């Protein structure tokens, strides 16, 4: 067996090679090589790969695309969670060689001992990776929208204009805002910010449409998820992008923990402390669900009563996390069993799916017309 630890960067990667027969008493029982992330560099890297080679590489933004290039040439590729590696690394001096060597030693110890020390990150299919990328861009635009609105609101407050934030969010007061002041500096800033805000909002809608188009292969899962009241097609797609496959999770607790909705509990003697959520999971679904939490609560009287009862004596943030956990636990059971939600409203559910299918059909028709011309 051969073992390779890879320290990956954007333009090159450093490999540490070890074999099963490496002598731990000999310092030079390893081989270090650095390759450029190019056609020539990859070709040289492939030459050392064999069918009995194990590879460990740390998860970065380039890792998934990199791993797809050679995972069929080796026995197994393990993508390690960055947060998990930091917990077990005691090295104070880090270089590319040290990091690659550390990864290689961890990999060899795990494979030969059979003891799981690194839990691998699932390599998502390209369709899921595309969705995750689109959602990242979508959240960037939404963040910029919020910053622009805050700046406009700040300028208005500074000059004692009595506009509230809701007036800026809507489009009906935009003309009044643009013609608000005779002050040329304020007039310039407001119009510049509004122009940028409107462009960002148009871009956000374009990205959202692309998300809906890219999610078409997951129609079956979307139909199951949208059967729950309060779960839109967009939120359903976000959940799919986060989890990839429900079969990856052993139970609903692991599922909710991965979606950052199950806080850690620490017990020591008679004391119990509630800690933060799982930083190794994904937070997109939790973020979008929190933003639409009022809609989720209004759609479920039982959940709303539970929320109102707990929020009287617990922190609102903890209770919101509890609401997300309950929603995600039900979603886990729905996906695992392939069943609609027990509180499904057939008419409203069908309306969601008809609207989504109509959108896809309209886009396909437009695409065909463009091809014909």
pLDDT tens sequence for the chain (373 residues): 899 999 999 999 999 999 887 654 444 567 899 999 999 999 999 998 999 999 999 888 889 999 999 999 999 999 988 776 765 555 556 788 888 988 998 899 989 988 887 888 888 999 999 999 999 999 999 999 999 999 988 988 888 887 777 777 777 778 888 888 788 899 999 999 999 999 999 999 999 999 999 999 999 999 999 999 889 999 999 999 999 999 999 999 999 999 988 776 656 556 655 666 767 778 899 999 988 888 888 888 888 999 899 988 888 888 888 899 999 999 999 999 999 999 899 999 999 999 999 999 999 888 777 777 6
Angle in degrees, 0-180, between the axes of helices 233-243 and 184-214, rounded to the nearest 10? 70
Please state the length of the chain.
373
pLDDT confidence of residue 26: 43
pLDDT confidence of residue 365: 83
pLDDT confidence of residue 25: 45
Q: Are 76 and 24 in contact (CB under 8 A)?
A: no
Cα 336 from Cα 291, distance rounded (Å)? 26
Cα 56 from Cα 170, distance rounded (Å)? 50
Can you give the C-alpha Rg of the chain in angstroms?
A: 26
Strand segments, DSSP code E, in the chain are 2-8, 12-19, 31-36, 53-58, 76-80, 265-268, 271-274
pLDDT confidence of residue 268: 58
**DSSP-assigned letter for residue 67:** H
Q: Where are the alpha helices (DSSP H) in 58-164?
A: 63-68, 82-88, 96-113, 126-158
- The answer for residues whose C-beta is within 8 angstroms of residue 77's C-beta and 6 or more apart is 54, 55, 56, 57, 67, 70, 71, 123
Cα 104 from Cα 57, distance rounded (Å)? 9
Cα 333 from Cα 72, distance rounded (Å)? 33
Cα 121 from Cα 265, distance rounded (Å)? 23
pLDDT confidence of residue 269: 58
Write the DSSP string, 316-354.
Answer: HHHHHHHHHHHHHHHHHHHHHHT---TT--HHHHHHHHH
* Closest to 343 (Cα-Cα) out of 305, 308, 296: 296
Q: Are 225 and 231 in contact (CB under 8 A)?
A: yes
Q: Are 360 and 216 in contact (CB under 8 A)?
A: yes
Cα 94 from Cα 244, distance rounded (Å)? 33
**DSSP-assigned letter for residue 216:** G
Cα 146 from Cα 283, distance rounded (Å)? 19
φ, ψ of residue 332 to 5 degrees: the values are: -60, -45
Cα 191 from Cα 75, distance rounded (Å)? 59
Calculate the alpha carbon distances from 304 to 156, 227, 231, 260 in Å.
37, 18, 15, 21
Q: Counting runs of H as helices and runs of E as strands, what totals does the chain give?
A: 16, 7
Q: Positive or negative CA dihedral for 24, 26, 31, 32?
A: positive
Cα 156 from Cα 150, distance rounded (Å)? 10
Q: Are 310 and 322 in contact (CB under 8 A)?
A: yes
pTM score, whole prediction = 0.85
pLDDT confidence of residue 329: 94
């Amino acid at each position: 067996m051969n073992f390779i630890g890879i320290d990956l960067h954007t333009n090159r990667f450093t490999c540490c090679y070890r074999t099963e027969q490496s002598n731990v008493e000999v310092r030079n029982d390893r081989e270090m090589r650095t390759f450029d992330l190019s056609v020539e560099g990859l070709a040289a890297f492939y030459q050392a790969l064999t069918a009995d080679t194990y590879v460990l590489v740390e998860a970065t933004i380039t890792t998934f695309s990199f791993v797809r290039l050679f995972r069929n040439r080796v026995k197994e590729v393990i993508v390690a969670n960055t947060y998990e590696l930091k917990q077990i690394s005691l090295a104070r001096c880090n270089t590319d060689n040290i990091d690659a060597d550390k990864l290689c030693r961890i990999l060899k110890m795990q494979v030969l001992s059979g003891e799981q020390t690194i839990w691998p990150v699932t390599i998502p299919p390209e369709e899921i990776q595309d969705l995750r990328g689109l959602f990242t861009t979508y959240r960037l635009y939404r963040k910029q929208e919020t910053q622009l609105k805050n700046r406009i609101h700040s300028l208005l407050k500074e000059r004692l204009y009595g506009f509230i934030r809701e007036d800026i969010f809507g489009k009906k007061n935009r003309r009044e805002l643009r013609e608000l002041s005779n002050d040329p500096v304020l007039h310039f800033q407001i119009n510049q910010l509004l122009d940028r805000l409107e462009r960002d909002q148009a871009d956000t809608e374009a990205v959202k449409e692309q998300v809906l188009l890219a999610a078409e292969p997951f129609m079956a899962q979307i139909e199951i998820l949208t059967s729950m009241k309060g779960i839109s097609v967009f939120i359903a797609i976000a959940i799919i992008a986060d989890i990839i496959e429900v079969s990856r999770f052993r139970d609903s607790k692991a599922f909710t923990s991965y979606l950052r909705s199950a806080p850690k509990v620490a017990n020591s003697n008679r004391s119990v402390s509630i800690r933060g959520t799982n930083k190794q999971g994904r937070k997109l679904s939790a973020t979008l669900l929190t933003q639409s939490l009022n809609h989720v609560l209004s759609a479920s009287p039982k959940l709303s009563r539970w929320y109102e009862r707990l929020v009287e004596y617990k922190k609102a943030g903890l209770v919101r996390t509890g609401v997300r956990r309950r929603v995600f636990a039900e979603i886990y059971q729905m996906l695992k069993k392939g069943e609609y939600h027990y509180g499904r409203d057939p008419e409203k559910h069908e309306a969601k799916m008809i609207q989504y299918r109509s959108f896809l059909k309209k886009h396909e028709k437009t695409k065909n017309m463009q091809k014909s011309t």
